[in-house]
Structure 1
Amino acid sequence: MRIITWNCNMAFRKKADFILTYNPDILIVPECENPDKLLFSINTPKPTDVLWFGKNNSKGLAIFSYSNFRLTLLENHNQDLQMIIPVAVTDGQFDFNLFAIWANNPTDRDGQYIEQVWKAVQYYSALLKDTKTILVGDFNSNTIWDKKHREGNHSNLVKLLEGRGIFSTYHIYHKQTQGTEVHPTLYMYRHRDKPYHIDYCFASKDLLNKVSSVEVGDFDKWIIHSDHVPVIITFDN
């Protein structure tokens, strides 16, 4: 199983062919237009299932399946946490819960970025039972930006998830420490000299031991398409 998260920086319909060469089973795309606007070319692979969320038809959060996996929004979805989407992923043999994330809610005065994920982990705590759980997407956050006076900062979120047996696949696979990552996922304003790691895939222990690779896209290849590069996580079946 391959999961890819890539903030496409809008106009996904013009960029899908590039990311789909990596053959995702599930693709998370922040800043994707509404599916009604996704007019792909005839040769572009078409998703087998799709969920989309957002108020701006040009810039929302999309979850695509390009496999037998079906995507079902969980009934307890908290719409106040606009871009933290709980999804049941099923194929009849391998089922798990996936939280697709674009931490971006300007209407929440209490915190529009990592605070959204912090709130979601509290709200969905019954679903985070250290079994077949993945949180993946654009967290818009890194330990280097921790606000010490805020409980819901990046470092505390990582600790909270680890306490539930959920760990960052990138940091485990590449033996990295939060805040000192050597593979950026965002180049602010598309500048090579403004690199940050803000896109993540966290997985519960029972899935973590199935991770066979975690790849981060290269600046030179992806910068013409987006200020983000993809994060590609492959799990053994």
Structure 2
Amino acid sequence: MKIITWNCNMAFRKKAEFILAEQPDILIVPECENQERLLFGPDTKQPTDIFWYGDNPHKGIGVFSYSDFKIKLFDIHNTDFKYVLPLSVYNDKIDLTVFAIWSQKPEKHDCYTEQVWNAVHFYSNLLDNKNVILAGDFNSNSIWDKPNRIYNHTNLVDYLKTKNILSTYHHFHNQTQGKEKDKTLFMHRKIDRPYHIDFCFVSLNLIEKLDNVEVGAYEKWTKHSDHKPLTVTLDI
């Protein structure tokens, strides 16, 4: 199974063919337009299932299946954390609990981690499920930690560890949070403004099934988006 998260920087319909060349089974796309605007070209592979959520029809979060997986929003979805979507992603062989994430800036300060921090505590029981995946644009990294904020990125990572949920990239490549060798965002597409803010966390039983974790190259993806895709391949 290949799961890819890629913030497409809007207008996904014009860019889908490029990410679909990577052959995802499940694709999570922050900043994606809604279904009514997703008019793919005749040569673009059509998804087998779609879930989209957002207030702005031009800029929400889309989750796409390109295999036999079906996608359903859990009834427990809390709209206070509207872009942290708890989804049941399932086929005849496996049930996955997938949180599709596009972290939003809060009104009262600039710490994007707050929304995800509050969401994972609200959905604490779901995190105890067997096959859990949290993937998307977290808009956060340990380099921006402020010690007086309990909801900083490092504390989020540590909390997920208490649920036996680990970052695929950091585990597979033996990287330290905040010191990543590969960057997923180049601010304003500038090569001298690199950050690692897109993540895919999975539960321990899925970590054991990791085949590969890859971040897209700057040269290949910058013409399409300021973000690079994060691709995780699992032996399931």
- TM-score tier after normalising by the smaller chain length: over 0.9
Q: Is the 8 A contact 1:130 1:205 kept in 2?
A: no
Structure 2 length-normalised TM: 0.98
Q: Map of 1:99-110 to 2, 5 A cutoff?
A: 99-106=99-106, 108-109=107-108
Partner of residue 195, structure 1: 194
In the alignment, structure 1 residue 76 sits paired with structure 2 residue 76: yes
For the residues of structure 2 that align with 1:120 and 1:131, how far apart are their CA atoms?
18
Partner of residue 185, structure 2: 186
Partner of residue 57, structure 1: 57
Secondary structure in structure 2 of the residue aligned to 1:176: coil
Partner of residue 4, structure 1: 4
Change (3 A) 1:215 1:197: same
Q: Map of 1:40-189 to 2, 5 A cutoff?
A: 40-106=40-106, 108-109=107-108, 113-129=112-128, 131-189=130-188
Shift of 1:148: 1.4
Q: How well do the aligned residues superpose, as a CA RMSD in angstroms?
A: 1.1
Q: Is the 8 A contact 2:5 2:231 kept in 1?
A: yes
Name stretches of at least 5 consecutive residues in structure 1 with no aligned partner: none
For the residues of structure 1 that align with 2:203 and 2:231, how far apart are their CA atoms?
17
Shift of 1:112: 6.0
Cα deviation, 1:190-233, whole Å, max 9, x if unaligned, reads 00000000000000001110010001000000000000000000
For the residues of structure 2 that align with 1:103 and 1:109, how far apart are their CA atoms?
15
Q: Map of 1:33-44 to 2, 5 A cutoff?
A: 33-44=33-44
Name stretches of at least 5 consecutive residues in structure 2 with no aligned partner: none
Cα deviation, 1:130-152, whole Å, max 9, x if unaligned, reads 62100000000000001211100
Q: Is the 8 A contact 1:83 1:105 kept in 2?
A: no
Q: Is the 8 A contact 1:217 1:229 kept in 2?
A: yes
Partner amino acid for 1:168?
A: S
Cα deviation, 1:55-80, whole Å, max 9, x if unaligned, reads 11111000000110000100000011
Runs of 4+ in structure 1 deviating by more than 2 angstroms, as ranges, are 108-112
Shift of 1:109: 3.1
Partner amino acid for 1:19?
A: I
Partner of residue 31, structure 2: 31
Taking only the aligned residue pairs, the percentage that are identical comes to 54
Q: Is the 8 A contact 1:136 1:200 kept in 2?
A: yes
For the residues of structure 1 that align with 2:39 and 2:14, how far apart are their CA atoms?
9
State the number of aligned residues: 236
Cα deviation, 1:42-99, whole Å, max 9, x if unaligned, reads 0100111111111111110000001100001000000110100000011021111000
Secondary structure in structure 2 of the residue aligned to 1:44: coil
Partner of residue 216, structure 2: 217
Shift of 1:110: 6.5
Partner amino acid for 1:25?
A: D
